[in-house]
Amino acid sequence: MPQKYKTIYADPPWPEYGGGRIKRGADRHYPLMTIPNIKSLNVQQLADVDCHLYMWVTNNFLQHGLDIMTTWGFTYKTMITWAKDRIGLGQYFRGQTEHVLFGVKGRPPYKTVDGKRQQGATLIAAPRGRHSVKPEAMRRMIETVSYGPYLELFARRAAPGWDVWGNEVENDIQLVS
């Protein structure tokens, strides 16, 4: 029986191909997945009865992110926005934000320390780094607000206290469709 996690953090490789003659999409940096393939991942087998999900989503795939969250067995609660220090690519609008959808499965308890409920904020202002590298402030906020054990899906590097799964790390778990 696979380990069950109280907190799952995911950064799916959304099918962001970009436009124009110059290859500028995410596919320039790593393999992308289709929406049906992301949706079909058996995240339910990894989620504890009471679990938090934090899922990065680009502006183009907001509705798909909400649909995937539901398919994976979570109920949407709120969105956290990363305000970047400079603009990126875009079509009608050049992107300067990215979002994390927060959802719950079951009735996870509020994390408390010394009897005080731990809370985060819905805005993170942090500099943009290399392509797709997320601010460490997000991971710190997750650890403040949510109980472990922790799992990061589509991880790019290992992090202390976290199990990871992705094509750029040595995987701690197996995840199948």
SS3 152: strand
Contact 50, 6 (CB under 8 A): yes
Domain total of the chain? 1
Does residue 68 belong to any structural domain of this protein? yes
Does residue 172 belong to any structural domain of this protein? no
Does residue 176 belong to any structural domain of this protein? no
pLDDT by position in tens, the chain (length 177) = 678 999 999 999 887 766 556 555 555 555 778 999 999 999 999 999 999 999 999 888 999 999 999 999 999 999 999 999 988 777 778 889 999 999 999 999 999 999 999 999 999 999 887 766 789 999 999 999 999 999 999 998 899 999 998 887 878 888 876
Does residue 158 belong to any structural domain of this protein? yes
What pLDDT does 92 receive? 79
What pLDDT does 15 receive? 75
Does residue 173 belong to any structural domain of this protein? no
* Amino acid making up residue 14: W
* Amino acid making up residue 38: I
* The pair of three-digit structure tokens given for residue 12, joined into one six-digit string: 């799916």
Does residue 103 belong to any structural domain of this protein? yes
Contact 172, 164 (CB under 8 A): yes
What pLDDT does 8 receive? 98
* The pair of three-digit structure tokens given for residue 59, joined into one six-digit string: 């502006």
Does residue 175 belong to any structural domain of this protein? no
Whether the ω angle into residue 135 lies within 30 degrees of 0, i.e. cis, is no
> Mind giving me the DSSP string for 35-93?
HHHHHHS-GGGTEEEEEEEEEEE-GGGHHHHHHHHHHTT-EEEEEEEEE-SS---BSSS
What pLDDT does 84 receive? 93
Does residue 174 belong to any structural domain of this protein? no
The residue range of the domain holding 100 is: 5-165
169 vs 10: CA distance, rounded Å? 14
Residue 47 is part of a domain; what is its CATH number?
Answer: 3.40.50.150
Q: What is the pTM of this model?
A: 0.90
SS3 97: strand
